[in-house]
Amino acid sequence: MIKKLILSIIVCCVAGVLYAQRTEDVVYMTNGKIIRGRIVEESPEGDIKIMSTDQTIHLIDAADIRRKTQESVEVVTSSELRRRTPPDIKVPYGYFLGFSIASYVDDGITPTARPGAHIGVFVERPLNDRFSVVPEIQLAIKGGKYNYKDSQYGVDELDPDDENYDDGHGVDVYELRDMHRNDLLLYLHVPVLFEAKLQLPAGYLFAGLGPYVSYGVYSHTFDMEQNRYNKKENPPFYYNVYHNYDFGAACRLGYQTSGSFFFQVGYERSLSDIKPTQTYMEGETHFTVKNSVFTFTVGRRFK
């Protein structure tokens, strides 16, 4: 029983080797050229007709033949070739950091800029030699400064002799005040850019355009009076001053060196109003709040 098993294994191995190999005719010519294939005709004078492996017929004079032989050739199936050849996947990735000039879109208010910053990582999925898709994940500080008029409520206590006096109760009143805000909004920021490249003798230029989504993770706001911080207000993301989400569009223009470093400038702008809808009193400022950010970035790209 054991002998039969061993014999079966030997037969399978020999059959596998025979299947994995075949022979072919090889003609070595006097000019150094080598033609591989199958000799289909040979004259008594030694002239031959050979069909090469690319199915081309060659007529060769005997005088041009240095020697001819048969050689074994390994036959590799497509599945075996895929198994032997590791996939050539190049997914560049990297990190970056930079500063920004953040403000709000001028829509009913008079905004001014405030400094910001960002830091993040990215991967690059090449589509071909010139185009790629680049998702980023970063922490980005946005926000801005602006002035507006807001109503402040109170109670006006009446004199008991006043004809409007009613059991000692006052009446609700409000007054308009000039408000001065300085917002710092920290987002988990995710742009996805469609990027194009222009090759240069040293490095390349690149430009990108695409959407972004952001989620607010931290914020604080100072009410400003006479260009001084007056008081720190409640975090606006958590007290319905602003929505803690944002979406918009981003664009980039940059230069990648022949090494791994790059620098770029960019612009991002909200397409949504991050301020919840509210009912205004007479005289209050009607406005929307949209992020507007210029970015200046340096980074490093690895392959």
- Calpha distance 52→34 (Å, rounded): 10
Residue 263 pLDDT exceeds 50: yes
Report the percent of the chain where pLDDT is more than 70.
Answer: 73
Residue 276 pLDDT exceeds 60: yes
pLDDT at 17: 43
- 87-113 mean pLDDT: 86
Contacts of 267 (CB under 8 A, 6+ apart): 250, 251, 293, 294, 295
Domains along the chain with CATH numbers: 24-84 (2.30.30), 93-302 (2.40.160)
Residue 118 pLDDT exceeds 90: yes
Residue 248 pLDDT exceeds 50: yes
Q: What is the pLDDT of residues 147-168, one digit of tens each?
A: 888 776 554 555 555 555 555 5
Residue 40 vs residue 251, higher pLDDT: 251
pLDDT at 162: 56
In DSSP terms, which residues pair with 119 in a beta bridge?
97, 139
pLDDT at 153: 58
Give per-residue burial for 79-117: e unless 16+ CB within 10 Å, then b.
eeeeeeeeeeeeebebebebebebbbbeeebebebbebe
Minimum mean pLDDT range among 14-28, 43-57, 212-226, 275-289? 14-28
